[in-house]
Amino acid sequence: MDKSECLSRETRIRLIEAAREMRQFPTQVEALLWEELRRKRLSGFKFRRQHIIYLFIVDFYCPEAKLVIEIDGGIHRAQADYDQYREGALIAMGYKVLRFSNEAVMGEMPMVLNEISRSLSKS
């Protein structure tokens, strides 16, 4: 049984609504990275954005590689413990997780894309 089947209908609906809103109003950094990942632009891999995995909404997800990409902005400094818990839970479920700061995506996009490509090639 999939973990999402354990969620109440109300919880699932709230997650779907939250993910939909985040897709409609991405941060500037998420929009920049999405332009590089969408339409199989990166090594031919398909990505989803603001994708629900169990109780979590991840920034970007590649199903083929089970790769989660998270962009850490200012709020993540205040919730480091939660982010660590969340990352551990995703890894325990079999996902690979890559984290990048807003600054890395804004100023070092080639390095970010290279690191994502390397992780995809290990799949």
Report yes or no: 32 and 106 within 8 Å, Cβ to Cβ. yes
Burial of 67 (0-12, 13-18, 19+ CB in 10 A): buried
Fold annotation for 3-121: Endonuclease; Chain A (3.40.960)
Per-residue confidence in pLDDT tens, the chain, 123 aa: 456 568 899 999 999 999 999 999 999 999 999 999 999 999 899 999 999 999 999 999 999 999 999 999 866 566 788 889 999 999 999 999 999 999 999 999 999 999 999 999 987
Domain ranges of the chain: 3-121
Give, in degrees to the nearest 5, the angle at Cα 105 between 28 and 70: 85
- Which residues contact residue 15 at a Cβ distance below 8 angstroms, ignoring those fewer than 6 apart? 7, 52, 55, 57
pTM: 0.90
